[in-house]
Amino acid sequence: MLKSNTDKATGFEKRFENIGTIVFENSTMASKAVAKEIADLIKVKQSQKQPCILGLATGSSPKGLYAELVRLHKEEGLSFKNVVSFNLDEYYPMEPDSINSYVRFMKEQLFNHVDILPENYNIPDGLLSKEAIAGYCDAYEAKIEALGGIDLQILGIGGNGHIGFNESGSLQNSKTRLVALDHITRVAASGDFSGLNNTPRTAITLGVKKIMEAKRVILMAWGEGKSNIIKASVEDTVTNLVPASYLQEHNNATFVLDNAAASKLTRVNSPWLVEKIVWTDRLIRKAVLNLALDLKKPILMLTDADYIENGMSDLLADSGPAYDINISIFNKLQNTITGWPGGKPNADDSKRPERAEPAKKRVLIFSPHPDDDIISMGGTFKRLQEQGHEVHVGYQTSGNIAVADDEALRFASFVCDYNDKFGIENTEASAIYKKAAKFLKNKKSSEIDTAEVRYIKGLIRKGEARATCHFVGIPDEQIHFMELPFYETGAIKKNPIGIADVKITSDLIEKIKPHQIYAAGDLADPHGTHKVCLDAIFEAVKQLKPKTFMNDCWVWLYRGAWQEWGIDEIEMAVPMGPDQVLEKRKGIFKHQSQKDGVVFQGNDSREFWQRAEDRNRETADIYHQLGLSHYAAMEAFVRWEY
């Protein structure tokens, strides 16, 4: 059985964590560990000639687990013939063969690849009449009870702390039932349904009571996007507002996390509050900056008493007084600020984030989607160009699934009208338009677009990206549309990163031989497009590392419209004045298909330009709050050492 970090704790961690937690380096390692526990349980039950009753979950979190279970079956002979499974939930209404059905998900991810008997897996029925649901749910629970209960329940966790579809407000004695889905849950799922309007409003879910009755519970969570709710579930009080917190009262539950999902736990985020630590430069910076922000004081106003009263007396004893520590951290933070992201020529660069030489650098900006460059680092992008660097942009994916259907029809119609106006043969264009219009008129929810529609949508985004580059001043020969194969499935679900993706990436790097690479460092969703694109860059850079030109190549990571680096992480902050903020906004406006209610809005109703401006302003305000100069906005970067 997995052993939690708190099993051996004698007081320190137990002050904060109210449930066993295990933190792995990544989700792959974590999934393999959970799969091993399940496999061991199945084998024990087989030796006892008993069925193994598993509670299973869907979503992105268990995908790696199911892949490992399939591997154990195919390569190591693990049999599932004695397994009886009960899935947590299903959208309602939902046809079992729908692309978003959990029946289809489970078959594709697990059941079709192992020897589980079809009569032994149970998934809530999304086609019931509403009148039949209550009786069906009672029978679902009765079947679990007749088998002696669930031996091991696998859970994920929603952004609001839901387990199954037991949303905020669900009671601990809640039964299996039809529930209304929280707005946060629907927004999180909207990407799978091509927008919020197409996302189901209800679902059938196993109740909290049955989850709590399971003999063993493992909750898995990956990615920085889950870190805040994990902290609330593990460290805060038990509340129906965060149903996952109920697991604190289970006698055999464990949270299995990757580093990113665990990043807000006190023992990870503020280890000096948990145990005696070795104070590294990074930890000192993090502790002092967090202290200043918590107390709402400029760095230079912190006192010895502030350190002592907030669990940092060890630091004061080692490196104090406070005045000396404050000065050191203030100077380091000040040195992150530069108006010369490509390095300032003929200047002392010993305390600057970038090198002065070569004065004119080759720069390669990787943009996962066709607008991430301008949204996330538009001010820096423009400044690099204005300061004379040779700036290239690599658009990693087409971004075609993020274009609304009516936009595609509008552009196809424009081509037909254009051809008519200028006497150009219009037969093929007209046929394509009519075919696309017919398809879109009858298109089912979440149905994959035809190749023609996908290509039209891709052309729209390509044109917008090119318009942005021209606005910044980048010539066509420095614009590179990579169209990485992993993305081009036509569906929300993408393929894993492949050899071809890495080769296209490494070929572009080798062609340009950049002194600087900028890449999207978003880690909120470990299965998201940004993370896959980043993995392709990381792998390409590692493969190219022996090349001589890579000795002069630095990699800077920016973040997208969803979040920003922590103040303690920032290594380069590029300030912007009010006029530069407006220029960045104009560049973002070139992406017309992403304005006014985009397909993938997320849980933020603001448009992308608003999110970017607010985030950049907030970063500048934090610097000012800490006692540094006040700018209108700042774009932040972290250097990746490879």
Residue of 638, 639, 642 whose CA lies nearest to 567: 638
- How many other C-beta atoms lie within 10 A of the C-beta of residue 360? 14
The sign of the dihedral angle between the CA atoms of 550, 551, 553, 556 is positive
Residue 445 tokens read as: 């929810």
- How many other C-beta atoms lie within 10 A of the C-beta of residue 42? 23
3-state secondary structure string, 49-72?
CCCEEEEECCCCCCHHHHHHHHHH
Whether residue 31 contacts residue 67, with contact meaning beta carbons closer than 8 Å, is answered with yes
C-alpha 390, offset from chain centre: 31
Q: How far apart are CA 425 and CA 251, in angstroms?
A: 74
Would you tell me the crossing angle of helices 372-386 and 608-625 to the nearest 10 degrees?
Answer: 60
Count CA within 13 A, CB hemisphere, residue 229. 23
Residue 291 tokens read as: 């202290």
Q: How far apart are CA 116 and CA 133, in angstroms?
A: 26
C-alpha 543, offset from chain centre: 25
Whether residue 218 contacts residue 2, with contact meaning beta carbons closer than 8 Å, is answered with yes
Q: How far apart are CA 58 and CA 126, in angstroms?
A: 15
- 123 phi, psi to nearest 5 deg: -135, 135
Residue 221, by phi and psi: left (phi above 0), alpha (psi -120 to 50) or beta? beta
Q: How far apart are CA 277 and CA 249, in angstroms?
A: 31
Q: How far apart are the first and last CA of the chain?
A: 35
Residues 6+ away with beta carbon under 8 Å from 152: 37, 38, 41, 52, 53, 54, 55, 214, 215, 216, 217, 218
Q: How far apart are CA 583 and CA 613, in angstroms?
A: 11
- Catalytic residue from among 13, 90, 167, 613: 167
Dihedral angle computed from the Cα positions of residues 16, 21, 26 and 28, in that order, rounded to the nearest 10 degrees: -170
Q: How far apart are CA 238 and CA 242, in angstroms?
A: 8
Residue 167 known to be catalytic: yes
Residues 6+ away with beta carbon under 8 Å from 148: 53
Name the β-bridge partners of 152.
Answer: 54
Q: How far apart are CA 405 and CA 413, in angstroms?
A: 12
Instruction: Please identify every residue annotated as catalytic.
Output: 167
